[in-house]
Amino acid sequence: MKVEKKEVEGIKIVKLTGQIRISTQNEFKDLMDSLAKENEGKSVIISLDGVIYMNSAGLGIIIDTYKKFKEKKGRMILCNLTPDISKLFEVTRLNRFLEIYNTENEALSKL
């Protein structure tokens, strides 16, 4: 899994590439935990356009991170989901309570 970080107008954007599976889920959890801790009360956009596979543990980590952001009055926003990942969020109904936008620019415009 590859991670790229940047800031746009003071908003941290994290772009993920690769697969979130058993061999990378600990790295993914550590990344998400540090994002939640470092950005308490802030908004972070996570771009998943490079993620081609996510297992159930990855979904659990996203839910856990979403809760951490919400508890600290921050926002975790997802964008650029591939069709397969988007379908996964629809099937699990996570798209009903997570903030998900089609593009990074759309996500930025909602902040």
Read off the CATH number of the domain in which 67 is found: 3.30.750.24
pLDDT for residue 30: 97
pLDDT value, residue 21: 94
> Per-residue pLDDT tens for 87-105?
999 999 999 999 999 999 9
Q: What is the Cα–Cα distance from 39 to 58, expressed in whole angstroms?
A: 20
Which residues constitute the domain of residue 24? 2-109
Q: In what order do the strands lie in the sheet with 11-20?
A: 2-8, 11-20, 43-54, 75-79, 99-101
**DSSP H helical ranges for 17-96:** 25-38, 56-71, 83-91
Structural domains in the chain (count): 1
Vertex 40, ends 34 and 45: CA angle to 5°? 70
pLDDT at residue number 86? 96
Point out which residues pair with 7 in neighbouring strands: 12
Helix/strand/coil for 37 = helix
Tens digits of residue pLDDT in 58-74: 999 999 999 999 999 99
Q: Is 31 helix (H, G, I), strand (E, B) or coil?
A: helix
